[in-house]
């Protein structure tokens, strides 16, 4: 039996993100072609560990489903990083998360040079709304 899909997304398990992620996948026609990897802190585990749980999930997505694009998404007010209170300003918080995303992107790009790796930041406004922006 063989089955494949084109994309995988790594995002935080935070329930507040669900409606916006669903909207994003629907808008980009990705609902039926995306592996979902939801874990607290999203890329935090990639950056904090040599070969952690999240990276193992990505390895399996590449190996089993032959994905060509990986989407990495962090979000503001992420509890795994200490929430928004840890930062002086919203801009500082966003820059921090973009830094985290770029670090994970570089690590995975070295491992999978042919994989397109998109980084995305979700600005969590409230329980129902997170504004997702594709950074690069």
In the complex, which residues of this chain contact Zn ion (CB under 5 A)?
Answer: 12, 14, 78
- Least separation in angstroms between residue 32's CB and Zn ion is 25
As measured in angstroms, the least distance from the Cβ of 59 to Zn ion is 22
Residue 12 or 120 having the CB closest to Zn ion:
12
Nearer to Zn ion, 65 or 81 (CB): 81
The alpha carbon of 124 is separated from its chain's Cα centroid by a whole number of angstroms, namely 14
Rounded Cα–Cα distance for residues 37 and 54 (Å)? 7
The residue among 14 and 55 lying less far from Zn ion, judged by its C-beta, is: 14
What's the min distance (Å) between Cβ of 11 and Zn ion? 8
CA separation for the pair 65, 24 (Å, rounded): 21
Element of type H or E holding 118:
strand 116-124
3-state secondary structure 41-80: CCCHHHHHCCCCHHHHHHHHHHHHHCCCEEEEEEECCCHH
Identify which of residues 70 and 78 has a Cβ nearer to Zn ion in the complex. Answer: 78
- Shortest separation between residue 116's beta carbon and Zn ion, angstroms: 24
């Amino acid at each position: 039996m063989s089955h494949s899909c084109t994309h995988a997304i790594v995002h935080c398990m935070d329930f507040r993100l669900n409606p916006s992620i669903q909207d994003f996948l629907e808008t980009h026609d990705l609902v039926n072609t995306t592996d979902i990897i939801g874990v607290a802190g999203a890329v935090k585990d990639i950056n904090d560990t040599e070969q952690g749980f999240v990276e193992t999930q990505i390895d399996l997505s590449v190996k089993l489903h032959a994905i060509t694009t990986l989407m990495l998404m962090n979000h503001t007010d992420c509890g795994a990083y200490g929430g928004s209170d840890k930062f002086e300003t919203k801009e500082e918080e966003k820059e921090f998360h973009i830094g985290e995303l770029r670090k994970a992107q570089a690590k995975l790009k070295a491992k999978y040079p042919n994989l397109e790796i998109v980084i995305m930041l979700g600005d969590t406004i409230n329980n129902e709304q997170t504004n997702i922006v594709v950074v690069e």
